[in-house]
Amino acid sequence: MQKINSLPSLFFSAEKMAQEIIDGPNDQKKSFECIKLFEEISVRIRRESLFSPNETVDDVQTGYLKYLLTPYYLAQLKQQIMANRYQMCKEAKILNQSFIEKCIELDIIDDEDKKLFHKKKLTETQKRETKIAIFKKKKALEGQLKQLESHINLTNIQSNDNSEKKNYISNSETQNIDEIDLDKDVEDIQRRYYILKIKFLFQKAIEDISLIEQEIQMLEFMQKNSEKIEKEKESKNYDPKNSMSNDPQKKPFILHIPNENRAKEIQRDMFKPYVKMGRPMTEKEFQEELIQDGVYAQKQEKPTPKLDADDEKEADEALYQAREWDDFKDANPTGWGNRMTRF
């Protein structure tokens, strides 16, 4: 007689196996086994009516909260399966949607997160903003989850001696022992932990749906393309060198030119540059032509300031500047800097 495991122990073993599959190498056989376990869990949840359609998360028992993750884990495992990929992706999408809708139904998710799921036909900017919002939310929830996990571990070692407690606390992220209430109700901590975990995986499920939809589109395109090729193979005009031989847009054509001289001229000019070369011109002429065409704006020369003949100070300054410039040119003749390179 086969032993029937209790639902908590069955879920514990299935969840542990699922984490190993998701985080580890892709093991198809193990994935199928884990899917069977979660499908059995799902059947037993429905049979025992653990969740009522009229209740909220406050009405759900703490021990039942973890079973809400069943469709999420099933979706993750379906995504691991390579066989019958199109069907698996569709089932994974439905399971993720089922998980999200159940979270919304039980009022676990706030209104802001509900909007992320109900948004349709987003622009690229809105998609980017949504991704950033989901990422920030996940990071915040992940930090809270780690804190609660350490808190749960502390409550689990309450029966041990004080030295073990202090040793654990010194190795954990929490440095102040007074900040941790070791006598806090374990059930309350577990409840907060599972609710946070559901919220965290809710964000991940939204991301997964987007990725699955992209993969489904790609698979549908590949399927249509393969069906088209199969139809062509069945037709009489199938050419293996040109699988699209029946497509008038992709069918090769031959250009017949009755005039032999014209044909040679076309053949000769086939690989000539497309851009017509104009007359030779200097750089300055080319620049002036670009300015006339409006490609470049014409440089506006700064008008030289006129000296006031009556202002002696201004005239003297201009004279000194001119003399200094003449002295500099005398000391530095044109091209003198290149003389060291001449042998």
Of the pLDDT bands very low, low, confident and very high (cuts 50, 70, 90), residue 60 is: confident
Residue 146 in domain:
yes
- Domain residues for the domain of 104 are 7-234
Residue 309 in domain:
no
Upper half-sphere CA count for residue 21 (Cβ side, 13 Å): 24
Residue 46 in domain:
yes
Residue 160 in domain:
yes
Size (the chain), residues: 343
Q: Tokens representing 106? A: 């039980």
Q: In the prediction, which pLDDT does 56 show?
A: 87
Residue 311 in domain:
no
Q: Tokens representing 115? A: 């909007």
Please write the tens of the pLDDT for every residue from 290-307: 888 777 766 666 666 666
Residue 263 in domain:
no
* C-alpha span between 331 and 119 (Å, rounded): 76
| Selection from 183-197, 264-278, 301-315 with the highest mean pLDDT | 183-197
Please write the tens of the pLDDT for every residue from 174-230: 444 344 444 446 777 788 888 888 888 888 888 888 889 889 999 998 888 888 777
List CB contacts of 127: < 8 A, sequence separation 6 or more.
none
Q: In the prediction, which pLDDT does 74 show?
A: 93
For the chain, what is the domain count? 1
> Looking up tokens 């040793």, which residue turns up?
167
Residue 41 in domain:
yes
How much is the pTM? 0.55
CATH code, domain with 32 = 1.25.40.540
